[in-house]
Amino acid sequence: MTKLIRGASLCAAVLLACAMPAGNARAWGEEGHRIVGNIAARYLTPEAARQVAVLLRDDRLADRELSGRKTLGEIAYWADEIKDYPWGRRLGRWHFDDIPLCGEADYARYCPGGACASAQLARHVEMLTNRRVPIYRRNEALKWAVHLMGDIHQPLHAATHGDRGGNTVQVSFFGERDNPPYGSMNLHAIWDVHMVRRLIAEKGREDAIVSSPIGDAEKAAWERGSVSDWVEESNDIAMTLVYRALPAEFSCFRRTHRDALAIDQAYYSQAAPVIEVQLRKAGVRLARVLNEAFEGR
């Protein structure tokens, strides 16, 4: 199978990740993750679709009860649902690569022992190729792979400016400051959820994004590269758009303004098309890695 990530040492991933504190970031929210899974389903090969169906026959919820879920879109949010349980919260570091926007990107520091999204995505995709792994573990590996592909395409799950990926940057979004049940609105939250929901509302429904045509040349271009390439791409978006478009001066030598920044139409108009492309890229790339995994490439 094509090597998906470069330079990762994964042998201690699970043990080390369990010792790490969980984050409260939930990339894209339920809607965004569902869109990624549903786009990927459009591009599965017949063999990959067959094996996905096999793995989801006995799918379980976070509480271990039968879920009845049968599609990639339906299982895409499971890795965030398990954060309601201690065992799921302990895996919080698996959801992001806290790559600094400024200074040296030290892999050993932002992904210690493989406890980051990119390493865990590669690890779980590899697990899908191993038929000796019990089916319930491969089922969970599928759910992690679907979710983490979405995570790495949210720019603030691939970048930080000493602010926990924007979680400490307070904002108002079209005048709104409340973000129940998570307190007040912050930069991370509007990229995770609120701009995605506004985009869906403007499109009329999620399926307008899922079913939007993707040309062959565009699809082929998006499929190129590795997990680490795609994380780097998200990190670049964080630098060139997420922070630079803020109504406050961006600098590597100072933190973002401490008062709540007013995010309105000007910022959203720049971010919305990028968000839509990132969701669509994540779906196409998820299909690519699942097709490779299930067809033994």
Q: Tokens standing for 135?
A: 């089916």
Across the range 33-59, mean pLDDT stands at 98
Confidence of residue 7 (pLDDT cuts 50, 70, 90): very low
For residue 8, pLDDT beyond 80: no
For residue 25, pLDDT beyond 90: no
For residue 259, pLDDT beyond 90: no
Confidence of residue 26 (pLDDT cuts 50, 70, 90): low
- The 3-state secondary structure of the chain reads CCCCCCCCCCCCHHHHHHCCCCCCCCCCHHHHHHHHHHHHHHCCCHHHHHHHHHHCCCCECCCCCECCCCCHHHHCCHHHHHHHCHHHHCCHHHHCCCCECCCCCCHHHHCHHHCCHHHHHHHHHHHHCCCCCCHHHHHHHHHHHHHHHHHHCCHHHCCECCCCCCCCCEEEECCECECCCCCECEHHHHHHHHHHHHHHHHHCCCHHHHCCCCCHHHHHHHHCCCHHHHHHHHHHHHHHHHHCCCCCCCCCCCCCCCCCEEECHHHHHHHHHHHHHHHHHHHHHHHHHHHHHHCCC
Confidence of residue 254 (pLDDT cuts 50, 70, 90): confident
For residue 297, pLDDT beyond 90: no
Across the range 220-236, mean pLDDT stands at 97
For residues 149 and 254, the model is more confident at: 149
For residue 21, pLDDT beyond 50: no
Q: pLDDT tens digits, residue range 151-166?
A: 999 999 999 999 999 9
Q: What is the pLDDT of residue 68?
A: 97
CATH 3.40.640.10 fits 13-294, yes or no: no
Do residues 114 and 10 make contact, with C-beta atoms less than 8 angstroms apart? yes
User: Residue 184 forms beta bridges with which residues?
Assistant: 178
Q: Of 164-168, 234-238, 252-256, where does the model show the most confidence?
A: 234-238
For residue 3, pLDDT beyond 60: no
Q: Which residues contact 149 (CB under 8 A, 6 or more apart)?
A: 36, 40, 121, 282, 285, 286, 289
Q: What is the pLDDT of residue 34?
A: 98
Report the mean per-residue pLDDT for the chain. Answer: 90
Q: What is the pLDDT of residue 257?
A: 66
How do the domains of the chain map onto residue ranges?
A: 13-294
Do residues 113 and 43 make contact, with C-beta atoms less than 8 angstroms apart? no
Question: What burial class does residue 161 get, using C-beta atoms within 10 Å of its C-beta: 0-12 exposed, 13-18 middle, 19+ buried?
Answer: buried
